[in-house]
Structure 1
């Protein structure tokens, strides 16, 4: 299968609708679009946006769960030369106001609510919008009712009917592959979120390369419960499928029982998800009732042990993915079919085509040798910069143009990248730096350990000591003495954990996207937690 020739989103939709007109492109419960009907729906909504006064450079935010309207609105915004601003569905009123204001959003497509979140009430708290959000002119609502003065999603189609095809064709023709079409906000755990600017061509080229590493074909069907607002959803997953003529099957929010039913009934072949999603599916009491034999590949993160759970679930060619929103989702991907088994999950794969990746000393930028850890830096499919934040842009790019990921890793002799944590997570104990991932690897080599996380714990003498948060395998017993014996055999004395906390997996603090919040693990070592 050749890579699509298109380098803009509307051109890609036209190309795939011509090549795969009857292939299903998007499924969400009873809603089903082929590539031909999806393009028709997107074009009809795009005309409505034009009728509402939107055009090239318009910034339109989307806030809702994984609904088909999310995808239609997204692709329509891209098709008029606009910029889609993705908003976290777990947003607070304060965060929503920040993103809408910082992005200069002049439009918002919003559901009335998502789970416990009442978006209509949040927007009401920001009234009057003319003062709090002066750029915001139009709100389009999905659901029974919307904010004051908003337009129903269905009404946008009606407004677009008088718009001639030539007007949309003109808008599409004015788009350059280098134009920014996505503004994705990273989840800032210690500061305000950063607006990552993503261009048309990269959404097509890099996502095609991701799919090739996963051996995706037009016959594949991806179960997508990962939130569309997240780069893994709207960058990686969605355009992986669109560039290959494959189908995206949406689940609005995660429920393990419902997910199992969708995986079987929709004959899904691809899995995108985090280790906690795989765990919930595997441990659900109804798991044996469902046939998941069509599952084959996809992308995830985690330890080799966590990947074994996915393989047990049936995803035998699952790929280990690594990247940031800033690097178009993924920049390295393992090949779950062809890579050597010993590297398939221990590493995060090799760089994708078009990715220039290097490992350097994080202070001097001197190159590191094979097997020597340093900062992961890259060129190629990388954001052009953060929106309205020149200070962060200067800090994030080297003088010779490499993006600083802030991640620690090393390359082996075959070019496989081994991720070793965030540079910020480096522990300085007694003046010596220790990489948490190295200690975690030794702890998880103990058969009774399911997962372990290592963090710095403040200490009056050593500045920090190494603390280990450990989850035991179900039914297994593990002691501090046992783990210390292994650590003493494998690690230098300054790398030894000085404090342990044994917890249940359910007690680990997670982000809204299912990742462990390592910046909160030190709370387990506070006096109240030690209890």
Structure 2
């Protein structure tokens, strides 16, 4: 089962339910699935085949949301890329990934326009006109309504995500459709996602936690997805006020910045049932301050590895008083955690060991 399959099912079960929300523009699941079909058919018409790697160089936008499942629908491999890459970094990753095509957002064309790829490389942009690039919307408008659907196995490669490269060159992490389904199921269960849920996406969808734990999991459950290209405290408070999300994922710094915002106390945050953070811990004093400023105890810390989906452990809302700053006391659904010594044996309580997932 793929993200693309879930969307197609939601188009049948919840055709008029909001799938994508950007500002005042709302796309229903029926219209969303139709756009995915046409974009997938357009990619096939340009020569994208099963197994080809297709890069997505976009901020958090509905175009990103259509591109990724369209790539999956025709058995190709999605390669979401960080919107802050330089042209040189973009070239390096496209070459390393052996990419056949790129879909680039108009806001990033200053970086993308100078990529140096071999003849036959397919370039698509959301920009209105560019003689050297195919137009994203024209590709959709002129494509057949349905692509040729290949047989896709759950163990086929679905996505390549590149790490940040903080300790060396960025590495491409491989995700199969099965591995994405496993972590999506985990987060959907752990945070009680349902068709009435609303995901607010402000962290880059080129990272595994926003992409698989919230975008994919929300698609699995038929939730609605609110997009905003970038994070600022002002934007977070405005999006919560306008769209009443139920789930938000952010880096700890996003919470710390927003906790000090003067408008926070006057913003109704009651719709949000799950304030999720990851990538770094929040210390005891930080947790106490953020919980007080947000006036909620619904914080969930996630810890894990990109290579694991991501998956690992959870610091539940109930544990934040006693274990703030830790990674929690249990593995997430489908994950087991242990502390092992250098011989691979479990250590005793109080002893130092290496975390094994």
TM-score (norm 1): 0.62
Matched, 1:65 2:42: no
Partner Cα distance (2:12, 2:286) in 1: 40
Partner Cα distance (1:315, 1:242) in 2: 26
Matched, 1:322 2:322: no
Partner Cα distance (1:191, 1:33) in 2: 40
Residue number in structure 2 paired with 1:119: 111
Matched, 1:11 2:5: yes
Partner Cα distance (1:269, 1:314) in 2: 15
How far has the Cα of 1:248 moved from its partner?
Answer: 1.6
- The structure 2 residue matched to 1:139, chosen from 123, 131, 137, is 123
CA contact (8 A) 1:110 1:119 kept: no
Partner Cα distance (1:267, 1:299) in 2: 16
Q: Which deviations, in whole Å up to 9, do the C-alpha atoms of 1:208-230 show, x marking residues without a partner?
A: 21121122232221221101111
TM-score (norm 2): 0.91
* 1:157-172 equivalence runs, <5 A: 157-161=140-144, 165=146, 167-168=147-148, 170-171=149-150
How far has the Cα of 1:315 moved from its partner?
Answer: 4.5
Helix, strand or coil: the match of 1:364? Answer: coil
Helix, strand or coil: the match of 1:331? Answer: strand
How far has the Cα of 1:26 moved from its partner?
Answer: 1.7
Higher relative contact order (CA 8 A, sep 6+): 2
* 1:237-256 equivalence runs, <5 A: 237-256=214-233
RMSD: 2.2
Residue number in structure 2 paired with 1:90: 84
Helix, strand or coil: the match of 1:306? Answer: helix
CA contact (8 A) 2:3 2:219 kept: no
CA contact (8 A) 2:42 2:140 kept: yes
Partner Cα distance (2:187, 2:243) in 1: 23
Matched, 1:266 2:243: yes
Q: Which deviations, in whole Å up to 9, do the C-alpha atoms of 1:220-256 show, x marking residues without a partner?
A: 2122110111112212210121122212211101222
* 1:22-101 equivalence runs, <5 A: 22-101=16-95
* 1:484-523 equivalence runs, <5 A: none
Gap runs ≥5 in structure 1 = 1-6, 379-531
Q: Once superposed, which parts of structure 1, at least 4 consecutive aligned residues long, lie more than 6 Å away?
A: none
How far has the Cα of 1:15 moved from its partner?
Answer: 2.3
How far has the Cα of 1:349 moved from its partner?
Answer: 4.4
Residue number in structure 2 paired with 1:333: 314
Helix, strand or coil: the match of 1:242? Answer: helix
- The structure 2 residue matched to 1:221, chosen from 195, 198, 204, is 198
Q: Which deviations, in whole Å up to 9, do the C-alpha atoms of 1:455-502 show, x marking residues without a partner?
A: xxxxxxxxxxxxxxxxxxxxxxxxxxxxxxxxxxxxxxxxxxxxxxxx
Gap runs ≥5 in structure 2 = none
How far has the Cα of 1:339 moved from its partner?
Answer: 5.3
Q: Which deviations, in whole Å up to 9, do the C-alpha atoms of 1:59-111 show, x marking residues without a partner?
A: 10011211110110011101111111011111122211110000000000002
How far has the Cα of 1:314 moved from its partner?
Answer: 4.2
CA contact (8 A) 1:226 1:233 kept: yes
Q: Which deviations, in whole Å up to 9, do the C-alpha atoms of 1:106-142 show, x marking residues without a partner?
A: 000002334xx8224xx42x44x32xxx6x6111001
Partner Cα distance (1:314, 1:97) in 2: 45
How far has the Cα of 1:145 moved from its partner?
Answer: 4.3
Partner Cα distance (2:209, 2:275) in 1: 12
CA contact (8 A) 2:55 2:79 kept: yes
Partner Cα distance (1:152, 1:340) in 2: 48
How far has the Cα of 1:334 moved from its partner?
Answer: 3.2
How far has the Cα of 1:341 moved from its partner?
Answer: 4.7
